[in-house]
Structure 1
Amino acid sequence: MTHAHDRALPRAVRQAMPMARDVLEEVAKLHGVCIRPIPLRRLDTVTGTSEIIDVPCGSTLDSKCPPCAKRNRQLRMAQCREGWHLDTEPAIAPDEASEEQRRLIEFRADMQAKRDAAEQAGDDTTDLDAVLASLDEEINAAGMRGSVTGSAVPKRTRSTRRRQDAPNLPKRRMTSTTLGRTFTGSDGKVYRPSLFVTLTLPSYGKVRDGIPVDPNTYDYRRAARDALHFSKLMDRFVQNLRRVAGYDVQYFAAVEPQKRLAPHLHMAIRGTLPRAEIKQIAAATYHQVWWPQADEVRFDGDHLPVWDEEAGYLDPATGQVLPTWDEALDALDEDAEPLHVLRFGEQVDVQGVLSGTPDADQCIRYLSKYLTKSLGETLDSGQAQREHAARMLDALRYEPCSPTCPNWLRYGVQPKSAKPGMTPGHCRGKAHKPEHLGYAGRRVLVSRKWSNKTLAEHKQDRRTWILQALGQADEPTDPHRYIWRPVPAGDANVPSLAVRLLRSVHVRQRWRAHLRELEARADGQDLSATPDAA
């Protein structure tokens, strides 16, 4: 409703006035309040009371929730800083098994015994095998790694012989450490240098300011396939790095796009190797994609495979069943060529970094610079750049992004786990979304022994610091005390978003006022003379 004093103002003046809700959202952002909080009902099993709690959405992107994205970036920076120059070996001890986990294993043992008895009796074990498979999934979901029996689904293997066009790599004997070498200076001081490495993909054609000089000769297909499989190439680089280094190299890496839209990698590496060896490893690293052919189009337009409930997808002209994913892989003989081979480009930047130096802080900021933006958001808004992005997306449209991608139907292969309604060019996979530009992997890659903490533990460290600064104790609570439940949409007990934001802003104001008060007391200031005293 418009207030009376607003109606008295000229129309042009009223239209220039900001909306109160928009101002509230901006104030919430300034105070670090999540602007898309998720209401959850928390039931206290001890007291029996129930209340609705706003939980931050946890988004990592500025475009969705700047406060949550900022917190995530700060957590990643803390994680990178704590692990980069460790001087003691991280000790990762498994958690003690819970009562629920032990119960699952006991039940698994009973079902295994029944399955073994049925097999000895010559009975059908199909149903029991399905139960065991379901139990194994439940065991992993309960927080246990690996397989109970130690057996796994057999993987397809190809020859591990290196390609003739790839240089060989030296291999050092592995030592049980993650720290790397130390160096003693002439003054007796011990230094533990680390590395900051940037890896890029090769050229697909001449570019100027990130735009192809000649779009007609720019190799968009290769650029698209490199983007789709870039995460596998990174894995290969880490494997080769550890073989050459001779120790369990730990890393913190971030992926971001260059102006030409190709993803590239910034990597903080604990320990050091000669620059020449890093460049040699990059030159010798490659990844082969052993998939069925995806160059010859068999079905397109109105001539698309049709679904049959019993057989799967059929050729619409002949009625012949298309080969399944496994059958198409089986058809690749020993003389088959990989669908695609990825390699890094010649540009490899290697910097030595020492702990506590301005260079280290600058590298950490650089690693986290674009973490709050999607790959597509980092692009320039110029017309030429938009046209370049459109051509890249067009090249990605029909490229298979995974074994389950509907695009395989275009090339005469049933996708893995095929289902009705699949249409080439309409894959819902992350890689095909415009904001991801073909890269479907994680933006941040952290090795298991980097900081000896999970991201949740880093978040708990931050919470503990804030509570200590506010003079409150972070008392441990029974993890089984509270039961959390989602709140149905339209629940009358949930206040409007505006009211919830106002409450959260008020809480943040009290926290900040308390922190200023504590800081002022620590500095010996007279609070009665400060503007905040009121």
Structure 2
Amino acid sequence: MRLLSEADRDTIRLAQDPGFTRWLEQITAIGGCAHPVYLSGSTITRDAYTGEALSAYSTADEPGERLAVRCRNRRATVCAPCSRLHAGDTFHLVRSGLTGGKTVPETVRDRPRLFVTLTAPGFGPVHRIADDDSPCRPRRDRPRCAHGTPLGCSLAHSEGDPLTGQPLCPACYDYPGHVLWHAHAGRLWDRFTTAVRRHLSSAAGIPRSRLGTHVVVSFAKVAEYQQRAAIHFHAVVRLDGPSGPGAAPPSWATPESLADAVRAAAASVTVRVPESAAYGAEALSWGAQLDVRPLRSFGDGAGVSDDAVAAYVAKYVTKGATDTAAGLDHQVSGPEDIRTARVSGHVRALMGTCWRLGGLPELEDLRLRAWAHTLGYRGHILTKSRRYSTTYAALRAERAEHQRTGAETAKEPHTVTEAAWRYVGSGHTPGAALIAAGIAEDLARNREIASEEIAHDFRGQQGHDT
């Protein structure tokens, strides 16, 4: 006779609970979230003049007297359902700044717009995947470094090869430079955006302080970890008139002038770090690889498409750390955590360098130990200018309004809402985790079936029209 596992016993306990049906409704409503947050409290909507209660909700009658809400974690490795929702929000946030919608006028399609990729500099040769499936680093003379390691590689690496992104010689690799570049990448980005505006004003013969009365520069940026575990940035850059997306920029503000300003800014900005015998004096800058492409709307034959950029950004915002050589999803508390982490030797060396440099007084403000799990990078994965497009908060509020039941009362102009909520827990028990995972799989399968049906109907309509 097979003994039941802890998860099986917990599942049976949940199924026999009188509140199971309502609990199942809650978990289904949040898409099978893997790490829900539980709240306890109440909301009452009253007539602002009479004080009469028009509607009321309390968790007193809910299972465990609590309500489950989404964790909203963006990482697919932590919570796939919330990650998928976050990816959809990111897609709409980026796309609305390219094609309009969500309070942004459609005329932004006609603005000067670029898709820019800024990379980190090299910190030492790493194994790589060649575009034409050729050897990684062919060297006929077979040279070796000072540590006796070959400086060439005759292998043709493919996707999934654990060697890809790893240094040819870890002893030669500039780990302090890599970590310090990550720690200052946000400051380097700020100086880059300032330099773009400075070069635009200089080219137009306008004082920098007056540029905003002629043109507004908007950015939306996503950070992506390359296979060598170095951050690089993908950014949408757009020019608008002085009042924002609804206004056209002056005639001199062209895609060409914007591209010139981006290239000049990327080549000129630097950030210095304090001098120390532990890592040397450093002047940090962007890498030599800079990609600047014009953006096109659907149907235009040149450049990168709007939807492709939005989908690309959404994809990388939600990728987990284990998928992108980004370190860990959680902070580390000491060298032992780093030693036992399930990461590559290269990533472990970067985390260890963060911990070592984080103990230096002159680098205390960088908080490298607190950010060792992200290899020293302490910025947001996605940032944008205020005028670029809508916000995550606005998108969530719009979705909540769409999903709300009994919204007629909430929309009344002369009402007052009283709410009192508190946090009472998070996460699933073993059995609940299994059930939630099944719900998430069912919902994902239903979405796939619906997408296939829509695609099938669309193809059939095309054939009928033909």
Which TM-score applies when normalising by structure 2?
Answer: 0.59
SS of 2:85's equivalent in the other structure is helix
Which of 256, 263, 270 matches 1:279?
A: 263
Deviations 1:184-221 (A, max 9, x none): xxxxxxx4341110000111122222222222222121
The alpha carbon displacement at 1:88 in A equals 12
Secondary structure of the residue aligned to 1:69 is helix
Matches for 1:27-426 after TM superposition, within 5 Å: 32-45=31-44, 50-51=58-59, 52-86=66-100, 191-209=110-128, 210-246=165-201, 247-271=215-239, 273-274=255-256, 275-289=259-273, 291=274, 293-296=275-278, 340-356=282-298, 359-379=305-325, 386-400=344-358, 407-409=359-361
3-state SS of paired residue (2:195): helix
1:117-151, Cα deviation, whole Å (9 max, x unpaired): xxxxxxxxxxxxxxxxxxxxxxxxxxxxxxxxxxx
Measured at CA, do residues 458 and 445 of structure 1 come closer, stay the same or move farther in structure 2, by a change above 3 Å?
A: same
Q: Percent same amino acid among aligned pairs?
A: 24
Using a 3 Å threshold, how does the CA distance of structure 1 residues 485 and 76 change in structure 2: closer, same or farther?
A: same
Deviations along 1:82-133, one digit per CA (max 9) or x if unpaired, are 1124599979xxxxxxxxxxxxxxxxxxxxxxxxxxxxxxxxxxxxxxxxxx
Give deviations 1:502-524, integer Å, cap 9, x for gaps: 7x969x98xx99xx9xx99xx9x
For 2:377, the equivalent position in structure 1 comes to 439
Pairs aligned (count): 337
C-alpha distance in 2 between matches for 1:395 and 1:216: 13
Report the Cα distance in structure 2 between the residues aligned to 1:480 and 1:88, rounded to whole angstroms: 26
CA displacement, residues 425-460 of structure 1 (integer Å, 9 cap, x when unaligned): xx7854212xx1211111111111111x33111122
Secondary structure of 2:72's aligned partner: coil
The CA deviation string for residues 346-391 of structure 1, in whole angstroms up to 9 with x for no partner, is 111111112345821111111121222344431399xx98122222
Provide the rounded CA distance (Å) in 1 between the counterparts of 2:407 and 2:434: 24
Q: Match for residue 243 of structure 2?
A: none
Could you tell me which runs of 5 or more consecutive residues in structure 2 were left unpaired when the two chains were aligned.
Answer: 16-24, 47-52, 60-65, 129-164, 202-214, 240-253, 328-341, 458-466
Partner of 2:432: 498
Which residue of structure 2 lines up, in the alignment, with residue 168 of structure 1?
none
| 2:225–2:326 contact (8 Å) kept in structure 1 | no
Determine the C-alpha separation between the residues in 2 that align with 1:449 and 1:261. Answer: 31
Counterpart secondary structure, 2:77: coil
Q: 1:230-276 CA deviation, whole Å, 9 max, x = no partner?
A: 11101111111122234321111100111111100000112353234
Closer/same/farther in 2, CA of residues 458 and 208 from structure 1, 3 Å limit: same
Q: 1:90 to 1:67 in 2, by over 3 A?
A: closer
Q: Cα gap change, 1:73/1:88 in structure 2, threshold over 3 Å: closer, same or farther?
A: closer
User: Could you tell me whether the CA contact under 8 Å between 2:196 and 2:261 is conserved in 1?
Assistant: no
Q: Which amino acid aligns with 1:286?
A: T
Gaps in structure 1 of 5+ consecutive residues: 1-6, 92-178, 183-190, 298-337, 401-406, 417-426, 524-534
Q: Does the aligned pair in 2 maintain the 1:31–1:505 contact within 8 Å?
A: no
- In 1, Cα distance between the equivalents of 2:176 and 2:429? 51
**Counterpart of 1:230 in structure 2: which amino acid?**
A
SS at match of 2:74: coil
SS in 2 for 1:249: strand
Mark the structure with the bigger radius of gyration: 1
Deviation, 1:18, is 9.2
- Structure 1's 474 and 363: CA in aligned 2 closer, same or farther, altered over 3 A? farther
Q: Which moved more, 1:213-222 or 1:70-79?
A: 213-222
Per-residue Cα deviation, 1:400-422 (whole angstroms, up to 9, x for no partner) = 3xxxxxx135x7x9x57xxxxxx
* Contact residue 198 and residue 266 of structure 1 kept, 8 A: yes
Normalising by structure 1, what TM-score? 0.52
Q: Distance in 2 between matches of 1:295 and 1:376?
A: 33
Residue identity matched to 1:459: R
| Counterparts of 2:289 and 2:278, CA distance in 1 | 33
Contact 2:30 2:70 in 1 (8 A): no
Aligned partners of 2:401 and 2:407 also within 8 Å: no
Residue 346 of structure 2: SS of its match in structure 1? helix
The 1:355–1:497 alpha-carbon spacing in structure 2 relative to 1, beyond 3 Å, is: farther
Q: Contact (CA 8 Å) 1:431, 1:440: kept in 2 or not?
A: yes
Is the alpha carbon distance of 1:235 and 1:472 closer, same or farther for their aligned partners in structure 2, counting shifts above 3 Å?
A: same
Aligned-pair distance for 1:395? 2.1
For residues 85 and 483 of structure 1, the distance between their equivalents in structure 2, rounded to whole angstroms, comes to 40
Larger displacement relative to structure 2 (38-47 or 71-80): 38-47
User: By percentage of residues, which structure has more helix?
Assistant: 2
Equivalent pair of 2:219/2:388 in contact (CA under 8 Å): yes
Change beyond 3 A, Cα 1:204–1:35 = closer
RMSD over aligned CA atoms reads 4.9
Q: Tell me how far 1:44 sits from its aligned partner.
A: 3.3
Q: Which residue type is aligned with residue 63 of structure 1? A: T
